[in-house]
Amino acid sequence: MTPRVAGQLLAERIIESVDNGEHNITNPALWPNDAVFGVEYFTHPKGEPGWKSDLQREFFSTENALNAWVAAKKVWITEQGDSALIGELYEWDWGPNFKATLRLI
């Protein structure tokens, strides 16, 4: 690989790491400066998995804040009785990295 090609590849990677143009949680430009964790999720009635709410995003600066949010959502889902929350958890490590699928039913 020539230095020019390597430099071009590095420049493309830097630009993608700043803003990949996506309108989802995998776009680094959408993450707040202090965020370490992010969750992108939707809710839907248990009997109607084809219907779902708009996609929502939440960001957290600590694991404790994330865990408190998950605990509160578990209570909310239980109180709803007929809803489910499905989402993906990401952790920031030189960009958003998928960590786990979140299913609260």
Tens digits of per-residue pLDDT, 23-68? 788 888 889 989 999 999 999 888 776 778 889 999 999 999 999 9
Share of the chain above pLDDT 90, in %: 47
**Is residue 22 a contact partner of residue 53, using CB atoms and an 8 Å limit?**
no
How many domains are there within the chain? Answer: 1
Structural domain range at position 32 = 3-104
Contact yes or no for 104/82 (Cβ under 8 A): no
**Using CB atoms within 10 A of its CB, is residue 60 exposed (0-12), middle (13-18) or buried (19+)?**
buried
pLDDT value at 1 more than 80:
no
Q: 35 or 21, which is more confident?
A: 35
- State the pLDDT confidence band at 19, using cuts at 50, 70 and 90: confident
What is the spatial distance between Cα 34 and Cα 32, in angstroms, rounded to a whole number? 6
Q: Rounded CA gap, 40 and 102, in Å?
A: 9
pTM confidence score: 0.76
Residue 57, token pair as written in the block: 């995003």
When mean pLDDT is compared across 10-24, 26-40, 83-97, the lowest value belongs to 10-24
